[in-house]
C-alpha cells in the first residue's frame, strides 16, 4: 500500500526534540588548512561530535560569534563547554604567565553562554577548559602553570600527548553517581583550579590533590571535569548523563 503524504511527513519539531536532545558544542576560531584552503575556521575535534551522537544526542556546533545568549540557549537542550585555550587571567584579576595563551573572544562567548544556561536551567558539561570557565565565571582563580608550581608535567607530559590519571570521586556526588568511586582519566592541561568559584563543590581529585571535577549542587546539571572524556570513546558515561539530563529538561 502506498503511504499518504501525511504518513510520510516529518514529526513535529517538539516531538523530535523530546526523542533526541539537542546538545550544543562550543567551538573555537583558529587558523586551519583543509583542501585548497588556508583560512580561519570554527573548529572542534570530531570526537566530541561522535561522543554526543553515540550517547543519543544531536550534536550542534556553536561558534563564538554571537551575544544573543538567551536565544541560543533556548535552541538547545544541553551544552558542552569543550577544551582549548587558557581563560584570560584578567577575568580573575591576574597578569598572564608567560606560558598562558588566551582567546578573549571565546571567553566572552562562553562566559555569556554559561550564564544564560545556568539561568535557564540548561544542563552543562565542562571539559578541561570548560571546568575552568565554570569556576572562573563563578569567581574562582586558576594556577596558570602547573609544571612551574608543582615541578611535574604529569597532567600534560608533552605537546599533543595525554597523561593518564586515576581520579577519586566524592561519595554522593553527581560525578560519583555517573562514574563510581574512582575512574581512569586522560588529562592534557597545564593549568588547574586554584580557588573554586562560589557555590562549586570539588568532587574529584588526582593523586597529587589537583581538583579534577567540580559541580553545582542541587537539581541543575552543571558538572565540570578537568580531564578529556571525549578521548575515550568506549566510555560515554559523562556524555550519556548530560544527554539524559537534557532529555528530562525538554519532556
Sorted by sequence, the CB contacts under 8 Å of residue 108 that are 6+ apart come out as 64, 67
Would you say 48 and 60 are in contact if contact means Cβ atoms under 8 Å apart? no
182 forms bridges with which residues in the sheet?
168
Residue 226 CB neighbours (<10 A): 31
Beta strands in the chain (DSSP E): 22-26, 28-34, 37-43, 58-62, 78-81, 124-127, 142-143, 163-169, 182-187, 192-193, 201-205, 211-215, 222-225
Which one, of 120, 62, 134, 150, lies nearest residue 91 by Cα? 134
Of how many residues is the chain composed?
251
Task: For residue 23, count CB atoms less than 10 angstroms from its CB and return exposed for 0-12, middle for 13-18, buried for 19 or more.
Answer: buried
Query: Which residues are known catalytic residues?
Result: 128, 228, 230
Torsion of CA 210, 117, 231, 201, to 10 degrees: 20
Amino acid at each position: 500500500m502506498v503511504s499518504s503524504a501525511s504518513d510520510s511527513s516529518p514529526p513535529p519539531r517538539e516531538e523530535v526534540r523530546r526523542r533526541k536532545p539537542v546538545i550544543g558544542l562550543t567551538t573555537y576560531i583558529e587558523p586551519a588548512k583543509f583542501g585548497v584552503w588556508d583560512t580561519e575556521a570554527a573548529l572542534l575535534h570530531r570526537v566530541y561530535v561522535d561522543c554526543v551522537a553515540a550517547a543519543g544526542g544531536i550534536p550542534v556546533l556553536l561558534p563564538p560569534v554571537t551575544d544573543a545568549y538567551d536565544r541560543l540557549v533556548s535552541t538547545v537542550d544541553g551544552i558542552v563547554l569543550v577544551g582549548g585555550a587558557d581563560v584570560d587571567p584578567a577575568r580573575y584579576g591576574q597578569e598572564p604567565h608567560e606560558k598562558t595563551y588566551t582567546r578573549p573572544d571565546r571567553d566572552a562567548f562562553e562566559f555569556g553562554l554559561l550564564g544564560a544556561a545556568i539561568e535557564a536551567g540548561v544542563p552543562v558539561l565542562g571539559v578541561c577548559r570548560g571546568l575552568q570557565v565554570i569556576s572562573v565565571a563563578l569567581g574562582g582563580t586558576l594556577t596558570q602553570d602547573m609544571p612551574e608550581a608543582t615541578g611535574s608535567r604529569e597532567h600534560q607530559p608533552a605537546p599533543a600527548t595525554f597523561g593518564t590519571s586515576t581520579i577519586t570521586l566524592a561519595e554522593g556526588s553527581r560525578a560519583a553517581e555517573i562514574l563510581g568511586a574512582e575512574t581512569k582519566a586522560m588529562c592534557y592541561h597545564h593549568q588547574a583550579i586554584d580557588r573554586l568559584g562560589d557555590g562549586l563543590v570539588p568532587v574529584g581529585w588526582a593523586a597529587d590533590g589537583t581538583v579534577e571535577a567540580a559541580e553545582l549542587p542541587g537539581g541543575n546539571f552543571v558538572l565540570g571535569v578537568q580531564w578529556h572524556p571525549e578521548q575515550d570513546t568506549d566510555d560515554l558515561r559523562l556524555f550519556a548523563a548530560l544527554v539524559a539530563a537534557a532529555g528530562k529538561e525538554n519532556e
